[in-house]
Structure 1
Amino acid sequence: MRRGDIYWVDLEPALGAEANKIRPAVVVSNDAANRAAGRGGRGVVTIVPITSNTAKVYPFQVLLPAKDCGLGADSKAQAEQVRTVAAARLRARIGGLPPAVLKQLDEALRVHLSL
């Protein structure tokens, strides 16, 4: 798994307004950490959940065109929902972000985290 890859991720159990269910998410942790997490599936990976609700895209979110990212519908990455999960929660790889879109996600993370 690599930074910018999109996987199906099992986010249950969730609490309150956390993104839930099995949904696509973008891997945002660095590639060295991702390689370590992938060995044996016992590590952790930082992800940004994706939703197909694109009615409003805030500065801490990024529009993901389906045709460019391997998704079934235009969607958005929700940097405000960034979290670290066990690598075992990742299912199948379904796509990836082009470099320009990953750069936009980096900026959305900076906005959300005030970096």
Structure 2
Amino acid sequence: MTSKKTLVIGASENPERYSNRAIRSLRSHNHEVVALAKREGKVEDVKIATDFPADKVHTVSMYVGPQTQPEYYSQILEMKPQRVIFNPGTENEAFSALLEENDIEAVEACTLVMLSIGNY
């Protein structure tokens, strides 16, 4: 399996949060992870940054609601990931349409489920 560098937006140090679980699962599946949140922190070996990364990533996994997403639109579009995964509760029709217009796949799915069934 090829490693797919993933940006997790809405990362949390709280092990009960799905973003935290996703980071740990991505790492256990040998994917490189870049994490972004309003507060710095760390999940295992992954540093949570507060500034949008300059790194090129394959996938963006959203863990922030549609009301918070607009602040990330231009940076995600400039980054040109291959896909953006809208985890449950983060679905955003307007942003999905904008992504598709820019040849970026918009996926409404759960990162954790995708990893567990092998279709990440």
Task: Please tell me the TM-score bracket, short chain as reference.
Answer: under 0.3
TM-score, length-normalised on structure 2? 0.26
Higher relative contact order (CA 8 A, sep 6+): 1
